[in-house]
């Protein structure tokens, strides 16, 4: 009898559940608490899910309710959740000099949403190297600020925690009081440090690797050209080129960062600085940090934030959301349908499969936001619709921004947010398809249905 194999999507889902379970049990231990409040199982579970799903929503105050041991557990959960269990496992195999079999390669490919089986192990090494080098650099940058306010040992620990949380786009902080980064709203260096870490983690490992390869190739060709060791034809044939994916990522990142900042400044006026508007535009891309309280934002600002949160970061990154390329492909598909022309960008036609997948992902994401918002309004009828939508979109896109709603929720409502964060981390499409076993069947006759 042939043994039925579990799909990679199911293994990834179970892997995340296993880490969440372990994290919950660890956070229940008294050594992880400060004793300020009684930490229930649901609160420990919520914190573990928020950390593993790199979200940052909290029912407790991590800075005041958890001890240094608890903070260590949380930061480890963030690191595992940001990189992914399979990536860390494959990285350990790579460090030990081992090789991945076909099934393990498939698992890593699924976890990173990598388009091919080629160069999986070099990609894993690059991901781990980039992660730890960037986090180390970020900790050193943050230390320049925190050392002025805290004792040396505490400044080092806060710098490390903030760097890991920022790079993995998890909006956790251990300052206490739920203040996030509001105390650094006018600190240019802290704003720059956090923005650098968040964008580095949310930019996407594929695009980062492509840009680094492009720069290396450009430098090499420049040196050969300067030395006169290569013909013009050879220069043209081997001219370094960025992939379509990287071009779209660069374009969407710039549009969302600066466009979102401009819209927020226009909607909030004197209530926010330009630096604060740009930081809020950045943090909405699944980072979860706050320099200006969102409870004071206008309805226009809340709408802008919800749109930015829903779109999220780039594919293959530590960030969540529906992803920038997904939204780009959907918009390009709508334009193509309206004009009757092919969906072409940068001289390349977008595949029909990509157009269909983008529509499905956005549709599933919107459906869950509507359904989860309905559940939350039933469980917490006293909340405004704007606050509910903000919280649900934040959880779905694993952002972690809040209008101070999460700590006040009842147990059932907390469970809705927990499920939403988990679905958001795995992705709506993964959740919807991981129980389906594709089978070849009889092709049925086609028939048109009037649309529009």
Provide the number of structural domains found in the chain. Answer: 2
The structure's pTM equals 0.87
- Of 101-105, 237-241, 315-319, 427-431, minimum mean pLDDT range: 101-105
In this structure, of 133-147, 319-333, 377-391, the range with the lowest mean pLDDT score is: 319-333
Confidence of residue 142 (pLDDT cuts 50, 70, 90): very high
- My answer on whether 16 and 162 are in the same domain is yes
Judged by average pLDDT, the poorest of 49-53, 273-277, 352-356 is 352-356
* Model pLDDT for residues 291-316, shown as the tens digit of each residue: 988 888 999 999 999 999 999 988 87
Residue 158 belongs to what domain range? 8-202
75 occurs within a structural domain: yes
> Is the domain of 48 the same as that of 133?
yes
In this structure, the answer to whether residues 53 and 196 fall within a common structural domain is yes
Overall average pLDDT of the 108-130 stretch: 66
Residue 330 falls within a domain, yes or no? yes
The answer as to whether 1 is a domain residue is: no
135 and 29 housed in the same domain = yes
Whether the pLDDT of residue 447 is over 70: the answer is no
Longest pairwise C-alpha distance within the chain: 74
The mean predicted confidence, pLDDT, of the chain is: 85
Res 111 pLDDT > 60: no
Report residue 203's pLDDT band, with 50, 70 and 90 as the boundaries: confident
Domain boundary among 161, 185, 202: 202
Burial bucket for residue 137 (CB in 10 Å: 0-12, 13-18, 19+)? middle
Q: Is residue 235 part of a domain?
A: no
193 and 259 housed in the same domain? no
Burial class of residue 68 in the structure, from the number of CB atoms within 10 Å of its CB (0-12 exposed, 13-18 middle, 19+ buried): middle
Q: How confident is the model at residue 190 (pLDDT cuts 50, 70, 90)?
A: very high
Opening angle at CA 176, ends 171 and 182, nearest 5: 60
Measure the CA–CA gap between 221 and 216, rounded to whole angstroms: 9
Helices (H), 147-268: 152-167, 188-202, 205-227, 232-237, 244-268
Dist. CA 51–CA 74, nearest whole Å: 6
Checking if the pLDDT of 22 tops 50, the result is yes
pLDDT of 212 > 80? The answer is yes
Do 280 and 373 share a domain, yes or no?
yes
Highest mean pLDDT out of 91-95, 229-233, 336-340: 336-340
Same domain, 163 and 312: no
Most confident of 105-114, 366-375, 425-434: 366-375
Strands (E), 239-359: 344-345, 348-349
Is pLDDT above 80 for 228? no
- Taking residues 262-277, report their average pLDDT: 93
Give the number of other Cβ atoms within 10 Å of residue 299's Cβ: 9
Cβ atoms within 10 Å, residue 85: 19
Give the pLDDT confidence score for residue 1 in this predicted structure: 40
275 lies in the same domain as 196: no
What does the pLDDT look like over 316-372, one tens digit per residue?
Answer: 788 888 999 999 999 988 888 888 888 888 888 888 888 888 888 899 999 999 999
**Distance separating alpha carbons of residues 272 and 182, to the nearest angstrom:** 12
The answer to whether 352 touches 241, Cβ cutoff 8 Å, is: no
Out of 140-154, 167-181, 336-350, 351-365, give the one with best mean pLDDT: 140-154
Average confidence (pLDDT) over 43-57: 93
Residue 95: pLDDT band with limits 50, 70, 90: low
pLDDT, residue 438, reads 55
Of 53-57, 136-140, 404-408, highest mean pLDDT: 136-140
Higher pLDDT, 304 or 9: 304
> Which of 202, 237, 261 finishes a domain?
202
Q: What is the pLDDT of residue 164?
A: 94
- Could you tell me if residue 41 is inside a domain? yes
Cα–Cα distance for residue pair 418/43, rounded to 1 Å:
10
Q: Three-state DSSP class for 345?
A: strand
CA distance 205 to 317: 6
Q: Based on the domain organization, do 18 and 95 belong to the same domain?
A: yes
Asked if pLDDT for residue 116 goes beyond 60, the answer is no
| Domain membership flag for residue 446 | no
The dihedral built from the CA positions of residue 293, 414, 201 and 310, taken in this order, carries a sign that is: negative
Domain assignment of residue 207, yes or no: no
Mean pLDDT for the stretch of residues 381-398? 93
Yes or no: say if 350 and 328 are a contact pair by the CB < 8 Å rule.
no
> Given a cut of 90, is residue 2 above it in pLDDT?
no
90: pLDDT strictly greater than 60: no
How large a percentage of the chain has pLDDT more than 70? 83
C-alpha 277: how far from chain center = 20
Q: In this predicted structure, what is the pLDDT of residue 441?
A: 55
**Residue 195 covered by a domain:** yes
Do 420 and 340 fall into the same domain? yes
Do 345 and 260 lie in one domain? The reply is yes
Q: Which residue has the higher pLDDT, 238 or 391?
A: 391
| Cβ partners under 8 Å of residue 418, min gap 6 | 45, 46, 49
In residues, how long is the chain?
A: 452
Residues 372, 358, 196: CA angle, nearest 5 degrees: 80
Surface-to-core class of residue 168, CB atoms within 10 Å of its CB (0-12 exposed, 13-18 middle, 19+ buried): buried
Same domain (yes/no): 37, 172: yes
Q: How confident is the model at residue 3 (pLDDT cuts 50, 70, 90)?
A: very low
């Amino acid at each position: 009898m042939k043994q039925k194999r579990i799909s990679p999507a199911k293994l990834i889902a179970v892997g995340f559940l296993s880490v969440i379970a372990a994290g919950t049990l660890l956070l229940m231990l008294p050594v992880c608490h400060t004793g300020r409040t009684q930490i229930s199982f649901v609160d420990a579970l919520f914190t573990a899910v928020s950390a593993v799903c790199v979200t940052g929503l909290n029912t407790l105050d991590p800075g005041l309710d958890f001890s240094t041991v608890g903070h260590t557990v949380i930061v480890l959960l963030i690191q595992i959740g940001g990189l992914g269990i399979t990536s860390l496992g494959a990285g350990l195999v790579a460090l030990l000099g081992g090789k991945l079999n076909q099934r393990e390669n498939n698992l890593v490919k699924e976890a990173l949403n990598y388009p091919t089986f080629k160069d999986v192990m070099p990609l894993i090494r690059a991901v781990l190297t980039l992660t730890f080098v960037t986090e180390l650099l970020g900790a050193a940058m943050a230390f320049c600020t925190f050392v002025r306010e805290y004792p040396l040992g505490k400044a080092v620990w806060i710098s490390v925690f903030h760097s890991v949380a920022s790079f993995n786009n998890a909006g956790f902080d251990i300052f206490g009081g739920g203040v996030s980064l509001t105390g650094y709203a006018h600190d240019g260096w802290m704003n720059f440090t956090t923005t650098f870490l968040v964008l580095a983690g949310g930019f996407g490992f594929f695009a980062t690797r492509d840009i680094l390869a492009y720069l290396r190739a450009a430098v090499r060709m420049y040196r050969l050209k300067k030395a006169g060791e290569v013909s013009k034809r050879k220069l043209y044939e081997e001219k370094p080129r960025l992939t379509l994916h990287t071009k779209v990522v660069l374009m969407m990142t710039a549009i969302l960062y600066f466009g979102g900042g401009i819209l927020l400044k226009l909607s909030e006026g004197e209530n926010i600085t330009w630096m604060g508007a740009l930081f809020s535009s950045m943090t909405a891309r699944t980072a979860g940090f706050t320099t200006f309280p969102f409870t004071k934002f206008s309805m226009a600002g809340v709408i802008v934030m919800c749109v930015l949160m829903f779109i999220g970061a780039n594919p293959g990154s530590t960030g969540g959301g529906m992803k920038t390329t997904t939204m780009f492909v959907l918009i390009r598909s709508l334009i193509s349908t309206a004009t009757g022309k092919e969906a072409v960008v940068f001289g390349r036609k977008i595949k029909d499969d990509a157009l269909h997948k983008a529509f499905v992902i956005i549709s599933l994401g919107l459906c869950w936001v509507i359904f989860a918002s309905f559940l939350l309004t039933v469980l917490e009828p006293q909340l405004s619709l704007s606050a509910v939508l903000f919280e649900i979109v934040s959880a779905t896109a694993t952002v972690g921004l809040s209008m101070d709603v999460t700590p006040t929720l009842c147990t059932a409502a907390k469970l809705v947010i927990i499920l939403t964060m988990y679905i958001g981390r795995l992705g709506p499409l993964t959740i919807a398809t991981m129980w389906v076993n594709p089978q070849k069947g009889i092709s049925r006759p086609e028939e048109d249905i009037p649309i529009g």
